[in-house]
Structure 1
């Protein structure tokens, strides 16, 4: 078999490579292409492939650029980063307070709520920094020093910048809520308590609770602002239990015993709170008790008329009234005594013997709050209850004694029964 000349093979390959540009000057290549139709088709395929490849590449690049432009248009504008600097947060709260105070007349409730919410956002943004500073102090200080600070309620030494920002935000919120032209509502009070709880500043909460009960209501009369005196003992002036519990927890977290006791006195101990509880939880039982005689008489009459035939109707009705009334009286009395005298929820604070049951029911929230304070300031181990000492603990015992309560009653302590 005859072998091809290497020079001819190389010549043919080079001729194919330069065919599009030099077809008129290559007679040998033209003769080969004209003699083989199959090679003509193959050559046309080779000739059109670079064009198709270039077209597809350019199309893909155009599609990629279009997708990139669409994505850039679809991506929204970057949101501003939240403020984290303590001074800037305090400036935002003070600016909101100043804008609120610049309003003449009685401000709208929406404006007051917006000003308090601005302070709340600043306090919420500052809260993690306060917790971080407290955690760093506990990690760096000795265990005995940190325990002593927790027991005595001493302030944790943190950055002066954070302390200043906390005071400014707290003062701005107090300025807004204590404005004479602002009507104290439960919503505003809840916002204020949330602000001070985030900042760890419960010192002003007892005063604000008293202000909520006694602050005059601003009204417009004859084109001027008049102030209507409020009844502090009205049920509408009572602090909501959830708000009072939030304030008490803030005082406990701050280890401020005076604020905790002041919050209890300004919320749970007031007559307004007891009246509100009596209205909320005593109205339905009172209505049921008032309608009970009519139900008893109806049942007795039905029994005498349809369910017996041995006595006359009047005698059977009297016997039925006596029997049903005696049943409800005995069972209801036992159930009420069991309900009002149970002690399962009591931990360290109990009632003194002889305290009337109605007082126990009306003042149960007050006792539970003092129980919470005692558990927070005393030892956490149950077997160490009763070993606490110090002027604060002795004062707490005496304070509870004035309110018909006992702290760590011996017969109710663990292992003493």
Structure 2
């Protein structure tokens, strides 16, 4: 059986593909194709978001009244699929997929007017302040506290694994405003200006030699009460809302599909014993297997988007997609490194400066090893694999 999109969806795909080709600057797509990790360069992201905002496409999942589109869930899926296939920079995920939906659903009118426009046009970048040294997957045990003092909250504590905090403008932060009663009831959500006095951001050197992940220390940081999102003590509710709102994002399906394309290209470009690697039966078999798994994963995402009736809660479906998506990230990047063999050991340096066209080290090779190394963390971040499986045991199997 071969699944297909209907004709109207294919026409929409062609429209999106052609328009992206017209508006995506070549230097941005070239840089992003050769970027060493999962991250885009900030200035490229800002430029690209401004272009998308002018097109009306920067936050397609938002309601139309807040700058979104009236596309269906399937059309939004197609749009993101084409964005990744064109090597466009990834979305400012924290702002577009987390802060924005929480603000237009629970925030005040003043907060919407202040924060939604610069998220749409990419001029303000957000970091997520959830995890702490003693509260990773178990956010109910977080210790960062916010004490009310007149028109401010005074915040003390620390956050860790805070992606992009070193270059972000704002922190979307869970804090404890009440230590009495059940832990979840005392959690609130604050928007914290990362330029505030008392904030120290320390980058964490990663296995691929980047410092995208950070520690954030907050020492008597004063945050205006007007930066409280929604109601005090409802932060846990807003965090759960995000999981239900973006239930397929953790599948990483678009990223994985793009890396599958890279693997196929490597199979044609890399030669072993005078023949393209794609002609090697064992390597070709491995490529076919992972290709089939990725296609099955894609259709699992589409089933969730179609809101197909299920006996399982949507949070269980999100956990399934997270578990499989994490594993596939590691599998496909591992296959790429295996294709390169000893050539995967080269240090490519900063791809913004290294634009070598040497046939021995083509652009296609750049970033493969770095991505494979950083995806070793994919089964940890965003909810560790063991935690996800515990959720599945409880929510889907009743254990």
- Please, what TM-score do these two structures have when normalized by structure 1? 0.25
Higher alpha-carbon Rg:
1
**Which of 1 and 2 has higher RCO (CA within 8 Å, sep 6+)?**
2
Q: Which has the higher strand share?
A: 2
More helix by share: 1
